[in-house]
Every structure is written in C-alpha cells, then in structure tokens.
Amino acid sequence: MAATLASLGLAGLDRKGPAPRPDMVISGLCADSRETRPGFLFAALKGALDGAEFAQYAVRMGASAVLTSAEGAERARADIGDWPVPFLIDENPRRRLALAAAAFYGAQPETLLAVTGTNGKTSVASFARQIFAALGRRAASFGTVGVEGAVTKPLAMTTPEPITLHRLLAELADAGVTHAVMEASSHGLAQHRLDGARLSGGAFTNLSRDHLDYHADFESYLAAKLRLFSELLPEGAPAVLNADDSTYHQAARAAKRQEIIPFGRDREAARGLRLIEARFDAAGQELDLEWRGAPRRVRLGLIGGFQGLNAMAAAALVIGAGEAPDRVFEAMNRLTGVRGRMEHVATRANGAAIYVDYSHTPGGLSTALAALRLHTPGRLIVVFGAGGDRDRGKRPEMGRAACEGSDAVIVTDDNPRGEDPASIRASIRAACPNAIEIGDRAEAILTGVDALSPDDRLLIAGKGHETGQTVAGVTHPFDDAEQARASVAALDGEDEA
C-alpha cells in the first residue's frame, strides 16, 4: 500500500527543509518512531511524550517526511541540527494526520455510526450492531471491549488513534462489513482521532463527571463530546439525543444541522422514541414505547432501566440509519447484554444474584444501583473502588452515590496504579463513613457474596469486563466475574450462574 503526498492532502503544506515533490511516494504512516520504515511519513505529535524529540530516530530509520507543528519542527531541529527531509507544518497536525490516514487506507463500511457520552457507549454500540445483524446486515461494533460481531479482535483504546482506526475501518470494509458502530470517547474526539471517518449518524447517551484529570473542566468535557455533532456528522444525518439528560438542549444546538431523534421519558422524546412505561422483573423488563406517536411494546432480557434506555438509543440510531421501524422493534426482543455491563455472573444456592458492572463514575454508579434496586426484593450490596492516577474529585462523589443507592457498602481497591490504595479508599469513605473497608478485592468480593440472603443482590462495580488489576505499575490477572463465581463455589460448593 502506498500513496503520494498530494493524494494524502499534504502537498500544499508549509514546510521546513527540502521541498517535497507532490508525487513523493509515502509507503506508510506512523506516530511511533519505532514503527518507522523507509518511505514512511512520521507524525511528530505532542502528547504525554513529545514526538518532536523522536523525529531524529524516525529520520535515521528512513522516514521520507515528518508531519508536525511549527514549534515541533524547531524542537526537532535542535536535536537533528537541520531538516534533512521535508518537515510538513500544520497548525493542527493531529487532525491532519487523521485526514491523511483516512485517505491512505481509503475503504470504510458503508454505514458508520458513532456513540458518545459518559455511560452506555459500549452497550448502545453493541445493541445497534446486534439489531443490524438480526436484520441480515454484516455488522461489527468496536470500542472498550474490542471489535465484536462479524469481525472480532482486541483493541488497546476505546477510540483507537487515527492510524489504527482508519486501518481498522479498511479491514472491516475488506471483510465485507457494511454496518459498523464505534464508541467515540472524549479523548478520541478532543484529539481528532475520528476526523476523516465517513460517519452516517451518531448518538449521545448522557453526561456525568468523568475524565476531569484530562479535560480542564466539565464544560471542556462536554465540548469534546459535542464535537461529534458540531463538526463531524454530515448535514441531515441522524443525531440521536437523550431527552432526559440535562445536556439535551446543548446537544440539540450542537446538532442543529442534523436530523435530531430524541429518546427517553421526557415529552420532548415524542418527536422520536418515547418511553411510556417500564415493568421490571427478575429476568428483565417490558417496555411500552411510542415511535413518533405509534405505540410499540418490546421485551428485553436486560437488567436495569438504563439498559432499556441504551436499547432505545440503539434502536433509534438504527432506524435513523434507514432500517424499517417494525423490523427494528422486533429485533430488540432478542438483544443480549454486553460483557461486564450489568452482567449476571453468579447466583448463590439461596437464590441471591450477583452482577458485575463497569460503572466507574459517580453518575454511572448511581444509575447502576438505582436500576438494580428495581430487581432487588431484599438488600442491595455494592463492592467498588476507584482508580488511581485519575480524577481524585470523583472519589467522594462515588462514595456518596454508593451510600445513597445501596443498603451495604464495601470499599475496596480498583486499579490503584501508582497511588497509595489506602488513600484512595479513604477519599471514598470520607463521604460514606459507614462503609466496610477491605483493600484486597478478592476478599471484598467474597465478603459481599457471603453476606447475601435469599432476596438480596450484589453489585460488583468499576472494572466490568477487565481481566487485570494494576497495582504499582504491575497488572495482575483479576476478573470480577471469575472471582464472584469462585466465591460462590467456595461458599455453596458450586457455581449456579
């Protein structure tokens, strides 16, 4: 695979060093100097590391050109002494790289949808993919849990960096995938990773506190999410928005060029997909809906009202992409849950059920507990912690959400990373002083399982699908679902999940 500077949209850029020919052949793209091969374009981007410091190594390894900012070129010159190859200058090299990657790899699925928001992205993407598949489309979804559907493979990031993303989109298209649904994280949107993706529609699930260790403030976090609508979705594309969320009207203003399809309980949702009534039982929920005024009823084998809303968002997104409403609502009845998202992982011999959920924000934890409460005849117990080296302000808020939403709280370690685990637990317990504190996560889960009476429910929150726990820079194998089943086996003699 190869392209010219002109075909990548790079021929007309300002430059330092020798003038490149527009027909200069570029044989590959990379943003990691270790991946450089002769003929590659190296993108020297400033992030956690300064790519300009590594330009010298990329040049030595045969890079034909370097894409960077004016400041990056000057920093690279200090190391190299000159510019031996063209240094192409762009005021936003991240965006320029994404557009070049889209041009380099070319092919993308015919229908490409993106889902953003704090919570629910993985479930909405999965549900939309499942609906497309039920309608006979060759479909895939990708994000936090990797690529699933017609193609399966792991991913390192929720929203891959642009070279990986556009390579993946080309691979999906080459594999015959016609319908793809991706998660759009705030990091990915702020860093222009999705730029160049030929999107057909998008959805916004909700917004609550998260990632304030990265974004300057809540307003910046929201602005990153809304880039999906204000800058990336084409005019007239479906924009599926949560009418119940406090940010709905801001999202609607950002999506003024698109066809807005609201969903939720609020009367605003009458223009789209409105929830009239939900009935919950031990196995799932039955929803009475209205699609633009026409009544519909669906049965979901999913636990939690928030999963009902996620399923509604997925249905609205699929209908907005051109599928027949009757077929979409029929397909909703066959939806299955996503790994680590309110997943029923074990049942004690006395009938008490245990769930694992990825909720790792104050809003997500509060929503998960409120949802599970509707399926809990007895006590609701929660085991959770908070990640280290992340937004410290959300820890007491998570403690408050746990105290208010459950009957018993066990605070444990999540992924402490480089922080002192005890200090993280103390921050949580500052807002929930009656919580039991057990640092060892396996012991905490065992204690929670042991406390269950027949009508009780246990929620193990925070890690969801993850299979490792990072402590002091080392990731140890750990799976909440496996630990829950092991605890049941130890206490009851068998796993009855």
Does residue 338 belong to any structural domain of this protein? no
The reply to whether 347 and 298 lie within a common domain is no
What is the per-residue pLDDT across 79-114, written as a single tens digit (0 to 9) for each? 888 899 999 999 999 999 999 999 999 999 999 999
Picking from 353, 398, 401, the residue whose alpha carbon sits closest to that of residue 379 is: 353
**What band does 221 get if pLDDT is binned at 50, 70 and 90?**
confident
pLDDT of residue 216: 56
In a domain, 410, yes or no: yes
Q: Is residue 484 part of a domain?
A: yes
Based on the fold, state whether residues 87 and 178 are members of the same structural domain.
no
Q: In this structure, are 110 and 95 located in the same domain?
A: no
Q: Are residues 358 and 428 in the same domain?
A: yes
Residue list for the binding site: 33, 117-123, 158-159, 185, 191, 193, 390, 414-417, 462, 466
Binding site as annotated, residues for ATP: 117-123
pLDDT for 116-157, tens place per residue? Answer: 998 889 999 999 999 999 999 999 999 988 999 999 999 988
Say if residue 295 is in the same domain as residue 352.
no
497 assigned to some structural domain: no
Would you say residue 215 has pLDDT above 70?
no
What average pLDDT score do residues 30-53 get?
A: 93
- Per-residue model confidence (pLDDT) at position 358: 87
Domain final residue pick, 99, 117, 151: 99
316 assigned to some structural domain = yes
Domain's final residue, options 69, 99, 129? 99
Q: Do residues 473 and 357 both lie within one domain? A: yes
Average pLDDT over residues 250-272: 96
Is the pLDDT at 218 greater than 90? The verdict is: no
- Residue 282: pLDDT band (50, 70, 90) is confident
Within this chain, do residues 93 and 137 fall inside the same structural domain, yes or no? no
Q: What percent of the chain has pLDDT over 70?
A: 97
Residues 94 and 130 placed together within one structural domain of the fold: no
Q: What is the pLDDT of residue 329?
A: 98
- Quickly state the pLDDT bin for 195 (edges 50, 70, 90): very high
pLDDT on residue 210: 52
- Range of the structural domain that residue 415 is part of: 343-492
CB–CB of 320/331 below 8 Å? no
C-alpha span between 207 and 222 (Å, rounded):
7
Given 285, 306, 332, which residue is the final one in a domain?
A: 332
Does the residue 337 lie in any domain?
A: no
- Asked if the model's pLDDT at residue 193 lies above 70, the reply is yes
CATH assignment at residue 54: 3.40.1390.10
Asked if 93 and 112 sit in the same domain, the reply is no
Residue 203's pLDDT band (cuts 50, 70, 90)? very high
Q: Which CATH number belongs to the domain containing residue 406 in this structure?
A: 3.90.190.20
One domain, residues 478 and 396: yes
Reported confidence tier of residue 339, pLDDT bands at 50, 70, 90: confident
Q: What's the pLDDT score for residue 364?
A: 87
Q: Which residues are annotated as a binding site for meso-2,6-diaminopimelate?
A: 390, 414-417, 462, 466
pLDDT of the residue at 467: 85
Residue 295, domain member (yes or no) = yes
In a domain, 116, yes or no: yes
Same domain flag for 122 and 41: no
* CA 113/CA 111 separation, integer angstroms: 7
**pTM for this predicted structure:** 0.83
Mean pLDDT, the chain, rounded, equals 93
**Predicted confidence (pLDDT) at residue 338 exceeds the cutoff of 90:** no
pLDDT tier at 159, thresholds 50, 70, 90: confident
Q: Give residue 496's pLDDT.
A: 46
pLDDT confidence of residue 205: 95
The number of folded domains in the chain is 3
- Asked whether residue 78 falls in the same domain as residue 155, the answer is no
What integer pLDDT is reported at residue 495 of this predicted model?
46
CA angle 141, 146, 344 (to 5 degrees): 90
Q: What is the mean pLDDT of residues 423-432?
A: 94
3-state secondary structure the chain: CCEECCCCCCCCCEEECCCCCCCCEECEEECCHHHCCCCEEEECCECCCEHHHHHHHHHHCCCCEEEECHHHHHHHHHHHCCCCCCEEECCCHHHHHHHHHHHHHCCCCCEEEEEECCCCHHHHHHHHHHHHHHCCCCEEEEECCEEEECCCECCCCCCCCHHHHHHHHHHHHHCCCCEEEEECCHHHHHCCCCCCCCCCEEEECCCCCCCCCCCCCHHHHHHHHHHHHHHHCCCCCEEEEECCCCCHHHHHHHCCCCEEEEEECCHHHHHCEEEEEEEEECCEEEEEEEECCEEEEEEECCCCHHHHHHHHHHHHHHHHCCCCHHHHHHHHCCCCCCCCCCEEEEECCCCCEEEEECCCCHHHHHHHHHHHHCCCCCCEEEEECCCCCCCCCHHHHHHHHHHHHCCEEEECCCCCECCCHHHHHHHHHCCCCCCEECCCHHHHHHHHHHCCCCCCEEEEECCCCCCEEEECCEEEECCHHHHHHHHHHHHHCCCCC
User: Predicted confidence band at 166 (pLDDT cuts at 50, 70, 90)?
Assistant: very high
Q: What CATH code is carried by the domain that includes residue 146? A: 3.40.1190.10
Q: What pLDDT does 363 receive?
A: 85
Q: Does position 288 have pLDDT exceeding 90, yes or no?
A: yes
- The reported pLDDT for the residue numbered 494 is 59
User: Distance between CA atoms of 253 and 239, rounded to whole angstroms?
Assistant: 11
